[in-house]
Amino acid sequence: MPTTTQRRQPPVDYIPRITAQYSGLGYGEYRWLESEDAPNWVPLSKPLSESKLGLICTGGIYVAGQTAFHFKDDTSYRTIPTDVDTSDLRATHFAYDLTDARKDINVVFPIEQLRSMIDENALGSVSPNAYTLMGGIYSTRRVVEDLIPALVDRVLADEVDVVLLVPV
């Protein structure tokens, strides 16, 4: 019987596929993060409609005029003003197809969606600063020692109520 909608496949298992590919290409082994302990849990202090949201995205996004990311283990971050004109946002990256991100940056940096949530009174506000990263960093030590403390400091200084993370 013909059907227009075919049965769904399960989610893609990226870890074995990417590991096999790296091995086939002769790259060094990428050690995927395997957390062994359950994460901390902090309850929301107020409803979302009254909350100030912080935004952190990987995907190699920068504003025209900023120094771009480089592709090898870049542990720097960029501060993106959240009132930015999205036509000034750029994306460069070694690890994903950028075609759609360059058509519409909101697919990896969802600022217009968040603005419409505020317009609908479903979200209180967005922090004036968002932070963008490169990702794909081989050294967990550098992430833990350099990048994470800097980002945690920024998030606390921004006094946000919740943080949304958007990896690619």
Looking at residues 43 to 72 of the shown chain, list those that interact with another protein (rule: CB under 8 A). Answer: 43-45, 47-48, 54, 56, 58-60, 62, 64-72
Q: What is the C-alpha separation between 73 and 57, in angstroms, rounded? A: 16
Which amino acid appears at position 69 of this protein? Answer: F
Residue placing its CB nearer to another protein in the complex, 66 or 125? 66
Does 90 interact with another protein (rule: CB under 8 A)?
A: yes
Does 31 interact with another protein (rule: CB under 8 A)?
A: no
The residue within the footprint of another protein, chosen from 50, 86, 128, 144 (CB under 8 A), is 144
Q: What is the C-alpha separation between 124 and 114, in angstroms, rounded? A: 10
The residue within the footprint of another protein, chosen from 50, 86, 140, 145 (CB under 8 A), is 140
Does 165 interact with another protein (rule: CB under 8 A)?
A: yes
Which amino acid appears at position 106 of this protein? Answer: N
Does 121 interact with another protein (rule: CB under 8 A)?
A: no
The residue within the footprint of another protein, chosen from 50, 86, 113, 128 (CB under 8 A), is 113
Q: How many degrees, rounded to 5, is the angle at CA 96 between CA 93 and CA 102?
A: 70
The residue within the footprint of another protein, chosen from 50, 86, 100, 139 (CB under 8 A), is 100
Strand partners, 162: 53
Q: How many degrees, rounded to 5, is the angle at CA 63 between CA 72 and CA 74?
A: 15
Question: How big is the site for another protein, counted in residues (CB under 8 A)?
Answer: 98
Q: What is the C-alpha separation between 128 and 112, in angstroms, rounded? A: 14
